[in-house]
Structure 1
Amino acid sequence: MSKAGLRQRPRGKEKDMYEVSKRDKDEEKWPYTNGQLDPFAKAIGAAVVIVMTILITYFRYQQYLRDIIITPVDSHLIIPANGSWPTVTPDRFWGTYRHSKEELKTDMTTIARPQAYFGVKSRSKTSPLFGLMWMSQLTNQMPPPLRHWCDQGDRLESYVWLKHDGENFGVQEIKEKLFTIKTEFVKQPGGDHGGDWSARISFIPKDPAVSVVVSSFFYTALDQDNGWLEPKFTKGRLTSVHGWHEDLGNFDLQMPNIEATNEVKAGVKSQIKHSYFVSHAKQLDQLKDILVNGLKVEAWDKGRTQPYFTLSGRRVPRDVPGPNYVVKQVTAHLPFTMEVIYQSGSFLYRQDQLSKESFSTLIRSNEEEFDAKFEKVFHLEQRGYSLNEINFAKAALSNMLGGIGYFYGSSLVQSRYNTEPVNYWEAPLYTAVPSRPFFPRGFLWDEGFHNMLISMWNSEISKDIIGHWIDLMNTEGWIPREQILGVEARAKVPSEFVVQRNTNANPPTFFLPLQGLIKEMIQSNKTSDKAYLKALYPRLKRWFDYYNTTQKGDLPFTYRWHGRDSSLTKQLNPLTLTSGLDDYPRASHPTTDERHVDLRCWIALAAGVMRDIARSLGQEWQKYEDTHDLLTDNKLLDKLHWSSKAQQYSDWGLHTDNVRLEKPKPPANQHPSQRHQHMDTDKIRVVLTEPTKQFVNAFGYVSLFPFLLKIVDANSPKLDRILSDITDPTKLWTDFGLRSISRNSKFYGRFNTEHDPPYWRGPIWINMNYLCLSALHHYSTVDGPYRERARTVYTNLRKNLVANIFKEYEKTGYIWENYNDKTGEGKGSHPFTGWSALVVLMMAEIF
């Protein structure tokens, strides 16, 4: 290459100018000086990093705050993840747990239906469903009503589990106007999937001379993704269903044919007709609707003009893998009996099929064991009760046990950091429910009362239930008070009650049954009980701390229920749903410095039980002892909650009794044509006298809490005053039990809104009366000047309660949610065999 082709480097000044020029250009392009970052640029870069770090930290912290409510407590589960597997708890794997896996989805919620009148499922979270529907045929009602879910609107004369032990068997009677259905269910252990079970369903006419034709529909259904079903036929009749499920393996449901008896009734030859339906349900809430759409009308026979509804055979859409819903229909003149036999594929060496005589033998054996155990536990025969009274008590217990459900899903929850509700983590819940038709879901404070009865019958069931509930605790120590779990139990729940908020507690009633269960577990020396207590204690600690941080009052040693809404204008007295006593009158104007005497007493009870558990486990117990001593100190209690004016224990807050509901006045310039719009508006609360800080002297259940939870000193003159007040007919005493609020109260019998009738403003509630009997029993057995008086009141109150609940059961066929304080009539939801079933413990004098 020639020199001319080479680039010449500058020399001398040219070189200096070149290097300066190059450096200037480089510095324009890169913020470096002598290879180092310019200080200004360095500061900007550092600021950007700091800002980004702050923003990332902030958003992460905000997300942390939003996630707290859905973060499980960091502690061992009481019921391990495999706790419901058939290999771990085979006795409780299958049961009459049909509180519905079916669901109705709306924009915000999943609403499940109530419990089926009769159904079976397992404690698998995707269990196949088995259940009964029925309808009367040849009637003038078109179409005839199809029964499936427990519904007060069906107006059945009664439906009641006569005997149910919670694990192995159950016998139920369902009474229609013209006939009775008897359902019997029994299990047989074996294999790895909970063994076999069978059901016998008998339709019995009340008057054999009257011809009654009824169709029975027994079905099985499952989510398609979790298994498959294959119907089997013999000579065109559905006789069995072979299936497979991911948690159950292979199984068979046999449905033997029923042959006609050829008897003649009311001039009509008896005959039995069979039909079937094979279809696909995209959602399991559609089972009844799909069946109805699968019915067709045929003539019963040539001599009858009434239509007969029968199933239409196979109707499986082409765009699905196969059927997941199979129904067998049997239609006959009554009486007739059908059996269904479930056999597990892993049960390899069964001796007899669980049907016919073997079924009858096993049912009789279980009934005999139930009767013997019932007398051993409750001694009612020994106490001189009649056969009818004993059968009533057996039914009350059996409906509590038969009402136990197994749910799986998540609640909708919200904290102040969440702009919208979020889903709690998915979890199982094994729980009793208050009412099969109306409250077929878990309620935290109800379940404590339920397990006072359940634990007396079968402590293992009770420990299973309590463990499932306490395992739902989040890291704050909060447990959602209503368990409206996704696909299992969002039934008849008004939208305003669906979302659970972590500021809102509920009475910690589990400490009531835990008092006895803890002693039993400590004395048992079972390895399983030791493990249970070890897992239970840290969770109870967190729960106790939650109440003492989130529900504490402004003053030391005071507490208040959160969740009261002071902005509502349509309520006479803002509800206190979290207390469990809904519309019981509290301070009329909710403020943060309210003091609620019932909550203080619940925490005192909890502190005493925590002390006993901690001491038995060798843990630090002194702080619980100190808390218990402070909260049961009568001088401090009287200072904070004794109203010298009313001579009673009371809440304290910003309050006035002088309020009423009125229609709002129309605007002065409203045109006459708009007057009807004003007439449609609801009444609103009008405050006639401005509230002041004072004791809320509405005498009733809340006023009794220091007495109900045995905190009042046995020598205190205040105990004498309480005994006088509860026996005063102008206050709480009735011939049927203690009413919830004094007849002298300005809130007695008053609607809380224009449309909401009184709930805890007069009616007699059995859980509170049970606590009262327990307190009276206690004060009648400890030394004190009012011992004999407490005994007299106890005897009379117990007699009144038991007699009235039994009388209403005999009269109506039901145990009720509450009872009218003037007539004793059952009111509210029915059957209500939640805490109203505590009548069994009243009869047995177990407190």
Structure 2
Amino acid sequence: MSGNGRRTTRSRTKSATDADGDDPLRNTKPNPKLRKDRNRAHNSIRIFDVNLKVMLGVSVFAFFVIFFLIRRLVNPAEEVRRPRVVTPFPAPKIMDLPQFQGEHRESLYWGTYRPHVYLGIRARTPRSLLAGLMWIGVKDGRYAMRHVCQDSDELSTYGWTHHNGRDFGHQILVDQDMTLATSFLKSKVDGSGYGGDWAVRIDVQSKQSERSEDMLRTAHIFFYMADEDGHALSLSRDNLDVHEGSLLASGSRMDVGGWQLHLKSMDDLEVHYSGFKTNHIHNLSELVQENLGAQARKYGRLQLSDTSDGSPNILVFQVSARIPFKTDIVFVSRTGLQSSGVEERVNSLTGTSLTSQLKEKQREFDTKFEKSFNLADKLDSESMIAAELYTAVPSRPFFPRGFLWDEGFHQLLIWRWDVHISLDIIGHWLDLMNIDGWIPREQILGAEARSKVPEEFIPQHPTNGNPPTLILALRDIVHSLKRNKFTSTESKEISSFLERAYVRLEAWFQYFNTTQSGKEMSSYYWHGRDVTTTRELNPKMHLDNKYGAYFDFGNHTEKVRLHWKENMVGNNYATRELVRQVLERPELRLVPHVGYVSLFPFMGRIIPPESWILEKQLDLISNQSILWTDYGLRSLSKTSSLYMKRNTEHDPPYWRGPIWMNMNYMILSALHHYSKEDGPYRDKARAIYDDLRGNLIRNVVRIITRLGFCGNNMIKERQGKGARVFTGWTALVVLMMAEAYGES
């Protein structure tokens, strides 16, 4: 059998019965009528064939059009295919979990979420109502506007002394001889809108202990409201006499409904205002300064113009009074209803009522602080300085935005304070993951944040990974979950979080295993290094038996330096720049520079407690000629040829000697671990641990006592270095005090 009975005209053969002579039909003359009928039939079939093809084509086209329209209706927000780097990871969002909705979400809606200004309030929404504080300070005999946190303002100290991360905060700002204390409080009562109401108390005092003429001088503070969506704000009246009424401004938004801003004070205040219509809210300081300057030149008075642009989306209120004075500013939401009880809500957030609530919140904070970190039994009699605890930014003046690897160290503190807030923050970071498992190293959101970042640091490359330190906090949370440290409700929510987060954590792990891998199996190398530049002096882990230390491995030479080179620019003048000069050809070898990188297996606690390698690591740590100082462990050995050497002309020593608190915490944590493990080096680890812990705590306390702030790193002369007011991972000193290391 051929398997197919079909035959083509090419394969047909002529049979004997097909002969003309044997077929009477073939020998008869054609019938004209029959031919006509056949032609009609044939023509009809041919025309039907053509129509069928056209109809099929139209039908297929219509099907795809209808399918596309239905898909667009079902998914109206579907976007055009995007590059992989901005394609979200295909998994349910962690922040869609029920525990992050409802009351939890609303309770965190308003907050001091503008860390780059001295006092800034906004909602957790992309485009929000903004509120903030400015004041006029004096520098070098000249007036200067204070608004954005910056080192050049030279404030003696500022920062939150109390902040619970939810509804209360208190900070002190010392500017020359003037001290401002700002308090923030939220309230959710019947009648208030989404997110509730909030109040700000501003208490202005003089640093002078005795009354003097200086103490009686006039101070000028400015409080503003701005709408990022451009909605018009309404001024209550042209004559802002606080004794006639407390209402300053009002407006309406979809999220909170109608709202009002009120001001109350028992002191004699003078209030002026200005209204602006602009999309560039991040330039608000300049707008106010220009208005004040014009008034000063025209009338010789340092006051706002009491005028407004049409339909302003920014209103600024100037409050002037003799020091000392105090004022309460209240924001109330959902004011459009008669039953909203606006007056009662304003009264409950001002005056003696506000005072008692702030005292109670401060007492609750102190109680929870002691319960969370249990410092009373851990410290000697040396005086301690209150430090801010709740922060998701490393430094308000220098780094007022989220950094991925900093965030893991922040969460080591925050989860112990409020695990719900910690999971909220970690969930947001993990939800930023793209389809390849990459998470951007920084979050530079909005014009205000971008204004603080140099342009060259804004682009981020998905091939460059950032250390996954969030795992440190998650590890501690899991260990505490196993030890039943949480309530039943908290345990269920943490378990739900981990279940939802697992697929993203796995993708993150695979991202590092694929994009950061080396040529050898299970090896890694530094991705993102510029191997073509001649302007860097930067050699970018392997165990050396001789040193008992772990070293980088790669092309390296010790005979390299930065030297000045002159370049001619045209025929006019010469310029000088530092360029790298290699005096000996590099070769594949261990890079003999002992530093933090030599201790990472130790920090990870993966060295067996009975291993001779552990003894060598302890010797490196305690050697004063290598890493040990009386203030903490150096980042690079004094014996290194790169110790305290510049990396480029414009890049001073950073990880080449200074003492970093995050790495010292990791080392201290490992010392604490090995001091409790059975092994021959247990006592040695304990002795080093006690000495290092004492040195670090004393150094940080002395720096804060003397300077009023802490830096992001330190040097041996007990100086805070790097970014000023760097609470970030330097706040890990609290965990050192509490001896909280997340032991398994």
- TM category (shorter chain) comes to 0.7 to 0.9
Counterpart of 1:249? 257
1:450-505 Cα distance to aligned partner (Å, 9 max, x none): 10011111111110000000000001000011222243522432322211111110
Whether 1:510 aligns to 2:470 is yes
Matched, 1:443 2:406: no
* SS of structure 2 residue aligned to 1:452: helix
The residue number in structure 1 matching 2:272 is 275
How far off is 1:246 after superposition? 2.1
The counterpart of 2:439, out of the listed 479, 491, 500, is 479
Secondary structure at the counterpart of residue 501 of structure 1: coil
Distance in 2 (CA, whole Å) between partners of 1:233 and 1:455 is 46
Maintained 8 Å contact 1:244/1:251: yes
CA distance, structure 2, for counterparts of residue 767 and residue 477 of structure 1? 25
Conserved? CA contact 2:95–2:428, under 8 Å: yes
8 Å CA contact retained: 2:99, 2:493: no
The residue that corresponds to 2:514 in the other structure is 549
Give the whole-Å Cα distance in 2 for the aligned partners of 1:127 and 1:733: 49
CA distance in 1, matches of 2:238, 2:300: 27
2:349 is matched with: 354
What residue is the counterpart of 1:332 in the other structure? 321
Equivalent of residue 524 in structure 2, options 528, 538, 559: 559
| SS of residue in 2 equivalent to 1:721 | helix
Partner residue, 2:559:
658
Q: How much has 1:298 moved relative to structure 2?
A: 7.0
Task: Give the equivalent residue in structure 2 for 1:843.
Answer: 737
In the alignment, what sits opposite 2:387? 395
Is contact 1:204–1:336 with CA below 8 Å preserved after alignment? yes
Q: Is the CA contact 1:341–1:355 (under 8 Å) kept in the aligned structure 2?
A: yes
Superposition pairs of residues 411-560 of structure 1, within 5 angstroms? 432-487=392-447, 489-520=449-480, 525-526=488-489, 527-560=492-525
CA shift in 2, pair 1:95/1:236, >3 Å: closer
Gaps of 5+ in 2: 1-48, 51-78
Aligned with 2:307: secondary structure? strand
Counterpart-to-counterpart distance in 1, 2:323 and 2:294? 21
Cα offsets for 1:330-386 (capped at 9, x unmatched): 112210111100111179366653111110111011111111111111122233444
**CA deviation profile, 1:745-764 (whole Å, cap 9, x unmatched):** 00001011122110000000
The yes-or-no answer on 1:381 pairing with 2:386 is no
The equivalent of 2:145 in structure 1 is: 146
What is the letter of the counterpart of residue 172 of structure 1? Q
Give distance in 1, aligned partners of 2:523 and 2:472: 21
Q: Give the corresponding residue for 1:230.
A: 234
The CA deviation string for residues 724-761 of structure 1, in whole angstroms up to 9 with x for no partner, is: 11111110000000000000000001011122110000
User: Which whole-Å CA distance do the structure 1 matches of 2:468 and 2:687 have between them?
Assistant: 30
**Structure 1: distance between partners of 2:426 and 2:403:** 12
Q: Distance in 1 between matches of 2:236 and 2:697?
A: 52
Q: Equivalent residue for 2:334?
A: 345
Structure 1 position 68, deviation (Å): 1.1
Task: State the alpha-carbon separation in 1 of the partners of residues 630 and 218 from structure 2.
Answer: 45
Q: Deviation of residue 200 (structure 1)?
A: 0.5
Aligned partners of 2:704 and 2:597: how far apart in 1?
28
Aligned length: 645
CA distance in 2 between partners of 1:371 and 1:283 (Å): 40
Give the partner amino acid of 1:535: R
Residue 747 of structure 1: which of 628, 632, 642 is its match? 642
1:168 — aligned with what? 167
Is 1:648–2:549 an aligned residue pair? yes
User: Structure 1 residues 164 and 385, CA, compared in 2 at 3 Å: closer, same or farther?
Assistant: farther
**For the residues of structure 2 that align with 1:313 and 1:286, how far apart are their CA atoms?**
20
Output the CA distance in 2 between the equivalents of 1:655 and 1:64: 47
Structure 2 Cα separation of the partners of residues 97 and 465 of structure 1: 13
Q: Which amino acid aligns with 1:213?
A: T
Q: Answer whether contact 2:609 2:679 (CA < 8 A) is retained.
A: yes
State the match for 1:95 in structure 2: 111
Preserved contact between residue 240 and residue 271 of structure 2 (Cα < 8 Å): no
Cα deviation, residue 140, structure 1: 8.2
CA drift at 1:395: 1.6
- Structure 2 CA distance for partners of 1:492 and 1:136, relative to 1, 3 Å: closer
- CA change 1:199–1:290 in 2 (3 A) is same
Partner of 1:323: 312
Match of 2:59 in 1: none
Does the 8 Å contact 2:162/2:388 carry over to 1? no
Identify if the C-alpha distance between structure 1 residues 259 and 648 changes in structure 2 by more than 3 Å, giving closer, same or farther: closer
Report the secondary structure of 1:792's partner residue: helix
- CA RMSD in angstroms comes to 2.7
Q: Which residue of 1 aligns with 2:201?
A: 200
Q: Which moved more, 1:377-386 or 1:777-786?
A: 377-386
Distance 1:120 1:802 in 2: 33
Whether the aligned pair in 1 keeps the contact of 2:265 and 2:326 (CA below 8 Å) is no
Distance 1:299 1:699 in 2: 60
1:240 corresponding residue in structure 2? 248
Following the alignment from structure 1 to structure 2, what is the Cα–Cα distance between the partners of residues 694 and 84?
51
1:649-674 residue CA offsets vs partner (Å, 9 max, x unmatched)? 1111111121111223668xx99x64
Give the C-alpha shift of residue 388 in structure 1.
3.6
Residue 73 of structure 1 aligns with which residue?
89
Letter in 2 for 1:230: S
Q: 1:160 to 1:388 in 2, by over 3 A?
A: farther
Higher alpha-carbon Rg = 2
| Percent of matched pairs sharing the same residue | 40
Change (3 A) 1:788 1:185: same
Residue number in structure 1 paired with 2:16: none
* TM-score between the two structures when normalised by the length of structure 2: 0.82
> What amino acid does structure 1 have at the position aligned with 2:730?
S
Q: By how many angstroms is 1:90 displaced? A: 2.5
Task: Please report how far the alpha carbon of residue 440 of structure 1 lies from its aligned counterpart in structure 2 after TM superposition.
Answer: 0.8
Change (3 A) 1:293 1:787: same
- 1:83–1:218: structure 2 CA closer, same or farther, 3 Å change rule? farther
Contact 2:110 2:122 in 1 (8 A): yes
Q: Note the alpha carbon deviations across 1:108-137, whole angstroms, 9 max, x for none.
A: xxxxxxx11011111122111100000148
Deviation at 1:525, TM superposition (A): 5.0
State how 1:15-26 maps to structure 2 within 5 Å: none
Distance (Å, rounded) in 2 between the aligned partners of 1:466 and 1:384 = 31
Q: Secondary structure at the match of 2:152?
A: helix
Shift of 1:697: 1.4
Select 2:224's aligned residue among 210, 214, 219.
219
| CA–CA distance in structure 1, aligned partners of residues 695 and 679 of structure 2 | 25
- 8 Å contact kept, 2:87–2:434: yes
Pair 1:806–1:151, CA change in 2 (3 A): same
Secondary structure of 2:146's counterpart equals: coil
Question: What secondary structure, in the 3-state scheme, does the structure 1 residue paired with 2:182 have?
Answer: strand
CA contact (8 A) 1:124 1:247 kept: no
Asked whether the equivalents of residues 196 and 332 of structure 2 are also in contact (C-alpha less than 8 Å), the reply is: yes
Cα contact 2:238–2:306 (8 A) shared by 1: no
